[in-house]
Chains A and B, each alone.
Chain A
Amino acid sequence: MPGLPGLRASDQDLDTRFANDLHSQGPNPDGLIEILNRSQAIVGYLVPTHLRQIARHLHLPDSRVWGTASFYHLFHFDPPPQHSCLICTGTACFVQGAGPLLKQLQRDGVAQRLKQKGIELGTVRCIGTCGGAPLAVIDGEVCNHQNTQTVLENLAGLKNIAELAL
């Protein structure tokens, strides 16, 4: 498919797994979001060539598939970062200090250092376990009652991450 970036050759098996999964699904257009969720679960993000295959499989115009995928927050069009650190910005976390916590981590020096280590800083809207507020989700693991120091300590504990200072 000219002009559309695909996966690297080493990720060919992901391509195959995606295609197998897609064809195991019926061609119901109302299953589009389900299929997008599954594709992202397999590959880690939505690949342009895959979106095109999905459109063809469901007999939908590309615009409908892209339009739907880009509407929802949880769909990504770029490969996931090596590590992710999401600060919850739900109401309970906010009133318990998630705002200043996020600001501290977003400060120039800190954010840059995180980026250099392959850690992407982001936010998540309430995961519904507010007993642990303020909380962070680091590589999918929930860390409760966080402050700047504990977030950095938790990040430093990740594989291949050396010490992180404020």
Chain B
Amino acid sequence: MGEKEPMGLRLCTAAGCRNFGSEALRIALNGAISLSGLNRKITVKGVGCLGPCGEAPVVAIDGATPRLYGALQPCPAEHLAEGLAAAAAANDLESWSPPGSRAIDLNHPFFRLQRRWVLKNCGQIDPESIEEARQAGAYQQLAQVLQHGTPQAVVAAVSRSGLRGRGGAGYPTGIKWTAVASQPAGEKLVVCNADEGDPGAFMNRTVMEGDPHRLLEGMAIAAYAVGASRGFIYVRAEYPLAITRLRHAIGQAEQEGWLGALVQGRDFSFKLELRIGAGAYVCGEETALIHSIEGKRGVPRPRPPYPAERGVFGLPTLINNVETFANVPVLLALGTDAYAGGTKVFSLTGQVRRCGVVEVPLGRSLRSIVETMGDGAPEGHSIKAVLTGGPSGGCVPAAKLDTPVDYDSLKALGTIMGSGGMVVLDDSTNLVEIATFFMDFSREESCGKCVPCRAGTVQLHGLLQKILDRRAGPGDLAQLESLCQMVRDSSLCGLGQSAPKPVLSTLRHFPGDYQALLMPEACP
């Protein structure tokens, strides 16, 4: 009788599950396996995000029937060992589940409707092992382009694929790459914007913690395509695990010759460094990010010149978001036709029954994401709106849930795709409170360089507070709207230009929420 494949446990040890004690559980499980002498029958490894973060901590069990369990309880190794030993003695490890856990249905649309391309390896491989990453396909596309491709062919493939910036604005990636590639020869840089500052968004964290080599590969291909020899990843300090894993991954990639001098013996060198932020939302804006990488105050500057011409240290610089780079190996592997614009990763949170990270094809309806996959609002409530794009975005009202989620449809509704944070609001929420919350955020995060943003956000927040306190009249509402337009049209950078968006969007779709708060005596 041949030895059966060991049963594999994949325990999520990304930051979300880690905060629910998954690292301690991993140690306990390993201890239990040794105690019960089942080393050849069960293996445990820590992996990146498995998706349903609302059920943390989550473990996937591989076997004849794949299983997923959530809400794992802390448990001493001895106790786990008893359960495992009993199941093994009955020859029934397949029915063992972690004590106190909840089974999660893998056939639920939350899983079934996903198309995991960028997150293909996330939750499958040990993010600290470059061997596992390579076995799962990492660095194959880089090897391919170095061996058989040309920089021009890579830029052309990215242009043809229709990939657009996944950081928020949706600028066509191919145009950006072409602009940097066409700069005169000389030192050029590639920068990854990993300053995921939108509150309620954690897609980039998921990629960096779960499959860091995919990001490194995407950046190396970009460097080759545009002729850059140095690069930076600018990560926010609030993501310590992502920083550790990236640092570790860069070391491994250098050792194996995927980064550094003469990559794979070819005439291409790429030195990659990490830069850690220090808490400033505005540093997600590309010119502010450039200053921060240079060790200065993270204040934006007017464009042009665009970073493609004069970026970090005044050199031509390509700046893309984490997910944009992570898409590059996917689109090269699949080819333009199969890629068809690609997927988008969303973090689904707020008043929704299933919260977590999902990856879906672009153009999927918002309803299918929040209602079918996310199971809608909690018991007894219905969805009122969905926030997209964070403090720079707006809301989609429940009546418009059939809108396809793509850059242009969301823009037509007065919001933006944004980086992928999706916060669901149920009927217990007042949208004026949400608008005030976002304005408070923008006011606090305004760098102060230009007057419309510095003073405008203060005034806007004051007006919103006045409305919330029921001290405002219809005149205040008119002033609120005109001030929003002024700040939007005259601010220096994206932060100020989009700070009024949540207000304008909620005014447009939920005027009733504002009207209801006006002073009764002021209304005719």
Contacts and interface: CB of A to CB of B under 8 A. Distances in A.
Q: Which of A37, A71, A73 has the most CB of B within 10 A?
A: A71
Given A91-B199, A144-B20, A71 B238 contact: no
B294 interface: yes
Interface stretch (B182-190, B212-220, B345-353): B345-353
Interface string A73-95: 11100000000000001111011
B387 interface: yes
Interface residues of B, number: 53
A34 B199 contact: no
B4 interface: no
B350 A128 contact: no
A45 B374 CA distance: 42
A135 B313 CA distance: 39
Interface string B416-435: 00000101010001000110
A127 B429 CA distance: 23
Interface stretch (B35-43, B277-285, B318-326): B277-285
Contact of A131 (B279, B349, B423): B349
A125 B200 contact: no
B15 A129 contact: yes
B123 to A, nearest CB: 14
Nearest to A60: B295
Interface residues of A, number: 38
Contacts of A91: 198-200, 349-350, 387, 390, 421, 423, 437-438
Contacts of A124: 238
A29 interface: yes
Residue among A68, A71, A128, A144 having the largest count of chain B Cβ atoms under 10 Å: A128
Nearest to A35: B295
A72 B20 contact: no
Given A96-B350, A128-B238, A34 B275 contact: yes
B280 A71 contact: yes
B298 A72 contact: yes
Nearest to A135: B19
A95 B295 contact: no
A132 interface: yes
A95 B198 CA distance: 15
A114 interface: no
Contact of A90 (B200, B279, B355): B200
A30 interface: yes
B28 interface: no
A140 to B, nearest CB: 10
B149 to A, nearest CB: 32
Contact of B202 (A30, A64, A128): A128
A89 B199 CA distance: 8
Residue among B16, B298, B356, B390 with the most chain A CB within 10 A?
A: B16
A67 interface: yes
Contact of A129 (B16, B197, B281): B16
B423 A127 contact: no
A130 interface: yes
Interface string A26-62: 0011111110110000000000000000000000000
A110 to B, nearest CB: 22
A75 B278 CA distance: 7
Contact of A130 (B296, B297, B347, B425): B347
Interface in A106-152: 124-133, 135, 142, 144
Nearest to A145: B20
A133 B19 CA distance: 12
A25 to B, nearest CB: 12
A80 B56 CA distance: 31
Contacts of B275: 33-34
B118 interface: no
A122 to B, nearest CB: 12
B20 A132 contact: yes
B110 to A, nearest CB: 13
A132 B278 contact: no
B54 A131 contact: yes
A127 B238 contact: yes
Contacts of B198: 91, 126
Nearest to A128: B202
A132 B56 contact: yes
B423 A72 contact: no
A47 to B, nearest CB: 17
Contacts of A89: 199
Interface string B11-49: 000011001100000000000000000000000000000
A101 B298 CA distance: 32
A129 B279 CA distance: 17
A142 B17 CA distance: 11
11 contacts: A37-B278, A72-B277, A91-B349, A91-B421, A92-B350, A96-B350, A99-B433, A128-B201, A130-B16, A131-B56, A132-B19
Given A71-B298, A74-B278, A131-B53, 4 more contacts: A67-B297, A128-B239, A130-B16, A131-B349
Interface of B: 15-16, 19-20, 53-56, 196-202, 205, 237-239, 275-281, 292-299, 313, 347, 349-351, 355-356, 387, 390, 421, 423, 425, 429, 433-434, 437-438, 441, 447
